[in-house]
Amino acid sequence: MNLGNLITEAQRLAGRVDADWKSRTRRWLNEAQTQWAMEVPWLTLERVESFVTDGTSELILPSRVLTIRWVGDKTNQRPVDAGGAWDREYPSSYFGNTSGTLLFWRDKGITPLARIPTTTDRIWLQTTASDTFNVGISGLAVDTAASGTPDYFYEVSEQIVVINESAYTSTHDFYQIDAIGKDDFTNGDILIYSGNNQIARLLANEYKTAYRRIEWLKIPPANTELRIAYIARPATLVSDYQIPHPAVDTEYLTWYAASMILTAMNQEDNAAIKRMRADEILRRRAVKERSHGDRDWRAYPEPSYWGSEDFDVVGEER
């Protein structure tokens, strides 16, 4: 089924075929597709790409990175192990922004910014194509009149109304940004700045900014080359004629979207039934792939992968 058919089918399952709900139904179908990609990624989503460090304790990856599989230090020809909470038994020299060869990495989750501002400032943005829409920014703002008091930082959510390609500036000085999003797909991307620095890009076919963030136990030298294997975000379904990747079970997409429609209609019991059906479809496929598929479901490649120190991509020598 194409996207138009999926929207109709999901609304039919929910008992609400409504053209006014098309945009929301499309959003939930894309959300379901992303959930499927995280659990049962298809081959074209599995990628290995080179990145370089910037001399800090963190690395923010492009928005196309959905989840990370493993990290390799190509400069020093060694794997980098994944860790959760840092072990208390690690020598104290590993802490306090200690520099050195990479030992461990850990996932710090999602951040709305590709670049963290170094100063408190107002946020300004500009779209790459004329359109009318709303942008929402949430985070911590500062009240300079309350400096030195508990009220210096305060939570704020601000809406910026965009009506053309002019630059629009926030009314608040943001110390920290927790979320940036918009109400629908737009004609162009939105470039977001703090001062003269671009800190994020909200794509035309996305609702919010999201960047995967990882942290190092030791700070590697700047320009250390890494090889990172990751699962990429699936292509967003935008137009009615688009068809999901054949690896995705469209029945799962429709049941998931139907459950979200019912939730929005405050029909929690019916929504739970639809969601259970969707989860069952996903669980069965995941079990089948892990039991009978030939993909490696572990976080790291086979030990033999590191037998050759001269590598570019998984399983291939340079």
CB-based contact 190:131 (threshold 8 Å): no
pLDDT tens digit sequence for 71-80: 999 999 999 9
**Of all helices (H) and strands (E), which one includes residue 171?**
strand 168-182
> Residue 291, class by beta-carbon neighbours within 10 Å (0-12 exposed, 13-18 middle, 19+ buried)?
exposed
What one-character DSSP code corresponds to residue 224?
-
**φ/ψ (deg, to 5) at 6:** -65, -40
The Cα 221–Cα 63 span in angstroms is: 24
* pLDDT attached to residue 312: 46
The Cα 117–Cα 15 span in angstroms is: 47
Specify the residue for token string 């400069």: 75
pLDDT tens digit sequence for 259-284: 999 999 999 999 999 999 999 999 99
The Cα 51–Cα 27 span in angstroms is: 31
* pLDDT attached to residue 81: 86
Q: What is the pTM of this model?
A: 0.82
Tokens at 226, concatenated: 């890494």
The Cα 41–Cα 82 span in angstroms is: 20
**φ/ψ (deg, to 5) at 159:** -105, 130
The Cα 94–Cα 99 span in angstroms is: 8
Domain boundaries, the chain: 3-42+240-292, 45-110+213-233+296-317, 121-209
* pLDDT attached to residue 147: 84
CB-based contact 188:74 (threshold 8 Å): no
Between the CA of residue 185 and those of 20, 69, 152, 212, 243, what are the distances in Å?
15, 30, 35, 22, 18
* pLDDT attached to residue 314: 42
Report the DSSP beta bridge partners of residue 153: 142
Sites in the chain below the pLDDT cut of 50: 294, 296-318
The Cα 251–Cα 142 span in angstroms is: 48
Report the DSSP beta bridge partners of residue 107: 214
Distance from CA of residue 44 to its chain's centroid? Answer: 17
